[in-house]
Amino acid sequence: MLAALVALAPTSVAFAQGPPGTGDPATTTTTVPSTTSTTTAPTTSAEPRGSTTTTTAPISPATTSAPRKSKASTTTTSAPPATTRPTTTTTSTTTTVPAQASGTWITAPGYNPAWHSINNPLLPRPPANSGVGRRIVYSKGQQRIWLMEANGYITNTHLVSGRYDIPAVGYYHVYSKSLNTFATHNPAITWMYMVRFAVGPQGGGIGFHQIPLLNGVPMQTVAQLGQPLSGGCVRQSHADAVLVWNWAPIGTLVVVMP
C-alpha cells in the first residue's frame, strides 16, 4: 500500500526514530511540492520572440514638444484675425471749364490759375518791367492790356481804346466796380462793367469798361479798338469787359505803362 502511494505522488518520507526501545516513529514529515509557481513576465526591453508586439505610433505633425515649465506655465491662445471689410475710396474730380461772360465767377467752377504754366507763343508779351504778381498791365502806347497771373501766365490780352496822356504811368489798384454807370458830364452816355483804378484830372473815375452807348448807340466799333478814342477811360468789347469784371476783384494791381 505504501509503495502504491509513493508511485502516485512523489513525496519524501523520512522516519525519525523515537526514543530508544520504542521502535515506532515519533514524527512523520511530509514535504509536499509547493503549489505556488512564480512566473517572471518578460520585460519590454528583452521581448521574447512571438510574445508581445509593441507598435510605436508615428508622431503627428501637429504635435510639438512643449517647453519645460518653470514655476508657472502660461498658455496664450491667439484668436483668428478678424475679417476686414474691403474699403472703397471715392475720388471726386472737378472739371474746369472756360470762364463765360456772365458777370460772375460761378460760370467757371474749379478755376485755378496755377494749372496754367505755358503761354501761347503767338500771344503778344507785355512790356518789359511791367511788374510782378497777379496784375493788369495797360500799355498806352500799344492800346492793349494783359491779365497776368502770378506765375507769369497770360490769362488774356486784348486791344482797348483809351488816351495817350491819361492816366499817368505808374502803379494803381482797383478801388471800385459798377455794373452800370454813366458819364457825369452827359447822363445820355452809359456803359456796363466799370472797373475803376484811377482818377482823372476833373476828379472822375478812370476804369476799364464796355464800349459806351450814346442814347443806346455804340460810340465806336469793336474794329476800332486799338485807337485812342476814349474821353479818359479804357474801352473794351463786351466779352472782354465781362472778363475783366470777373477776373479783377477790388484791390487788383494795375500797372500803367507808356
Supply φ then ψ for residue 110, to 5 degrees. 75, 10
Say which residues have a Cβ less than 8 Å from residue 16's Cβ, sequence separation at least 6: 25, 26, 27, 29
Within its chain, how far is the Cα of 27 from the centroid?
117
CB 238, CB 160: distance < 8 Å:
no
Looking at residue 220, what is its pLDDT?
97
**Is 179 inside any structural domain?**
yes
The model's pTM is 0.56
> The cell 458777370 sits on which residue?
103
Looking at residue 166, what is its pLDDT?
95
CB 254, CB 174: distance < 8 Å:
yes
CB 109, CB 92: distance < 8 Å:
no
H or E element that contains 146: strand 144-148
Query: Cis peptide before 212, with omega less than 30 degrees from 0?
Result: no
Encode the chain (258 residues) as per-residue pLDDT tens digits: 444 433 444 444 343 444 444 444 444 344 444 443 343 444 443 333 443 444 444 444 444 444 454 444 444 445 555 555 555 444 444 333 344 333 333 334 444 555 556 788 888 999 999 999 999 999 999 999 999 999 899 999 999 999 999 999 999 999 999 999 999 889 999 999 999 999 999 889 999 999 999 999 999 999 999 999 999 999 999 999 999 999 999 999 999 999
**Is 98 inside any structural domain?**
no
Check which CATH number belongs to the domain holding 245 and give it.
Answer: 2.40.440.10
What's the domain range around 173?
A: 133-257
Residue 20 is classified by DSSP as: T
Looking at residue 141, what is its pLDDT?
97
Looking at residue 89, what is its pLDDT?
47
> The cell 500500500 sits on which residue?
1
Amino acid at 189: I
**Is 218 inside any structural domain?**
yes
H or E element that contains 6: helix 2-8
Looking at residue 185, what is its pLDDT?
86
Going by C-alpha positions, the residue among 181, 120, 113, 169 that lies closest to residue 140 is 169
**Is 162 inside any structural domain?**
yes
Q: How many domains does the chain have?
A: 1
Query: Cis peptide before 167, with omega less than 30 degrees from 0?
Result: yes
Say which residues have a Cβ less than 8 Å from residue 9's Cβ, sequence separation at least 6: none
Looking at residue 174, what is its pLDDT?
98
CB 158, CB 142: distance < 8 Å:
no
Supply φ then ψ for residue 6, to 5 degrees. -70, -35
**Is 244 inside any structural domain?**
yes
Supply φ then ψ for residue 247, to 5 degrees. -80, -30
